[in-house]
């Protein structure tokens, strides 16, 4: 028998004992006065118990993990007890028994139900208390947003007593919600005063749980949070969260993440079509000019992952190019088809020599001076490299039949 089934059986037996005990107590005076017989009493309590269990099992009450129980689970318990008692009453009416059986059974069933609920509440509170005592790594957390997403996250964090984050407060702009409590947690505000509100608190983490707001407002809130001493997280779109926790419910916290650059953009980030990129590069000889630079080196790493026939890194700076060569060899092994050429795009003869050697099909031109203030002081060098160097690379690519020539940077100094 699994652990969950064992616990369900224990709870079922507990409920049976409560029903029997309180109903026996209700009829005890009748039993001692001789108004009813022990045999009849046991039969009636047994009938009531069976009626209740039929509906509790039908409603799957004993499949509940009571440490995670919410109002719906308690209502199911109440519904099972009510339906069971109604069935018991109907049987007694049909059989024409004394009304005293129904009236006293109602009292006993009500007392049993009260104790069932009390025991379940106490168990849930005990599990939470024990977990809080045993978890020393919990971090006090402020949730920005007391809307549907924030309240749902709050409920989940409260239920996850073994989790890392312990809700400390909710921060919201709504004056109607401020100075109120939700699930036992205070709502404070406004959001613009977050720094002051959290200044003298033990809060170490902030979770932004507002989804129905503009990107500009989200940026403003993140800027405010950046002025606190707290780590800042963002809750993903609740609609997309599909992972479940131990109770089988959808998990919002699984979509919680650190702040990313995309969160600060004024637009949706562009998503690459990886299949088309792969088709563009795979099996081709690819030459990257300026491959040792900041833009060119990342291009080379991305291209290497797509399986080119050969990758040629061309750059005039040997140090960064050598480091890039080692990185790619480390990632993809010494058998990876990689060539490195130290050359300047200004040197037309050297460019022709390289093109004749490799016959690249795809040329990505990233070689250029890009530092605007420096190039304003040295305009001649900028023109020689960015203008004439680009001209040399483009002409050479055309002369040697390259299929594509891509000018990477359109804002060269």
DSSP-assigned states of every residue in 34-87: TSS-HHHHHHHHHHHHHHHHHHHHHTTGGG--GGG--HHHHHHHHHHHHHHHHH
pLDDT of residue 268: 66
pLDDT digits (tens, 9 = 90+) for 341-378: 999 999 999 999 999 999 999 999 999 888 888 888 88
Determine the pLDDT at residue 242: 40
Name the residue ranges covered by the structural domains of the chain.
Answer: 3-132, 139-264, 274-407
Q: For residue 271, what pLDDT is reported?
A: 77
> Taking every pair of C-alpha atoms in the chain, what is the biggest distance, in angstroms?
120
Neighbours of 390 (CB within 10 A): 19
Q: Measure the CA–CA gap between 259 and 264, rounded to whole angstroms.
A: 9
CB contact burial 263-282 (16+ within 10 A = b; e otherwise): beeeeeeeeeeeeeeeeebe
pLDDT of residue 245: 45
Query: What pLDDT score was predicted for residue 46?
Result: 92
Q: Quote the pLDDT of residue 133.
A: 56
Q: Do domains 139-264 and 274-407 have the same CATH topology?
A: yes
**From the candidate CATH numbers 3.40.50.720, 3.65.10.10, 3.40.1190.20, 3.40.50.300, the one assigned to the domain spanning 274-407:** 3.40.50.720
Report pLDDT for 131.
60
- 113-118, Cβ contacts within 8 angstroms, sequence gap of 24 or more: 113/77, 113/78, 113/81, 115/18, 115/22, 116/14, 116/15, 116/18, 116/77, 116/81, 117/74, 117/77, 117/78
Low pLDDT (below 70) residues in the chain = 1-2, 128, 130-137, 161-162, 237-255, 261-269, 409-413
pLDDT score of 70: 76
Task: Domain 139-264: give its CATH code.
Answer: 3.40.50.720
């Amino acid at each position: 028998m699994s652990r969950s089934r064992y616990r369900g059986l224990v709870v079922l037996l507990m409920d049976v004992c409560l029903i029997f005990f309180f109903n026996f107590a209700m009829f005890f005076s009748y039993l001692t006065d001789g108004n009813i017989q022990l045999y009849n009493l046991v039969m009636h309590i047994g009938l009531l118990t069976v009626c209740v269990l039929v509906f509790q099992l039908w409603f799957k009450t004993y499949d509940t993990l009571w440490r995670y129980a919410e109002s719906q689970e308690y209502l199911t318990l109440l519904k099972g007890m009510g339906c069971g008692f109604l069935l018991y009453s109907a049987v007694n009416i049909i059989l024409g028994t004394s009304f005293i059986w129904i009236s006293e059974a109602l009292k006993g069933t009500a007392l049993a139900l009260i104790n069932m609920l009390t025991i379940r509440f106490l168990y849930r509170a005990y599990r939470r208390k024990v977990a809080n005592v045993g978890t020393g790594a919990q971090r006090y957390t402020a949730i920005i947003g007391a809307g549907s997403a924030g309240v749902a996250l709050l409920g989940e964090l409260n239920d996850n007593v073994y989790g890392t984050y312990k809700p400390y407060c909710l921060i919201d702009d709504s004056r109607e919600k401020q100075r109120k409590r939700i699930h036992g947690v205070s709502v404070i505000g406004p959001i613009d005063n977050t720094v002051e509100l959290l200044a003298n608190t033990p809060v170490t983490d902030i979770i932004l749980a507002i989804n129905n707001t503009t990107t500009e407002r989200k940026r403003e809130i993140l800027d405010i949070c950046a002025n606190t001493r707290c780590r800042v997280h963002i809750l993903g779109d609740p609609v997309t969260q599909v992972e479940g926790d131990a109770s089988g419910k959808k998990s919002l916290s699984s979509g919680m993440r650190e702040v990313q650059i995309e969160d600060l953009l004024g637009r949706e980030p562009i998503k690459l079509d990886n299949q088309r990129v792969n088709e563009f590069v795979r099996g081709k000889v690819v030459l990257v000019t300026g491959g040792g630079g900041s833009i060119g080196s990342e291009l080379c790493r991305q291209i290497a992952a797509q399986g080119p026939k050969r990758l040629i890194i061309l750059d005039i700076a040997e140090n960064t190019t050598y480091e890039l060569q080692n990185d790619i060899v480390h990632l993809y092994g010494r058998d990876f088809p990689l060539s490195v050429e130290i050359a300047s795009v200004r040197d037309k003869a050297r460019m022709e020599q390289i093109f004749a050697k490799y016959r690249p099909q795809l040329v990505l031109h990233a070689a250029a001076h890009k530092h605007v203030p420096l190039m304003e002081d040295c305009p001649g060098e900028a023109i020689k490299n960015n203008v004439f160097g680009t001209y040399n690379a483009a002409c050479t690519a055309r002369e040697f039949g390259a299929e594509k020539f891509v000018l990477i940077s359109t804002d060269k100094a």
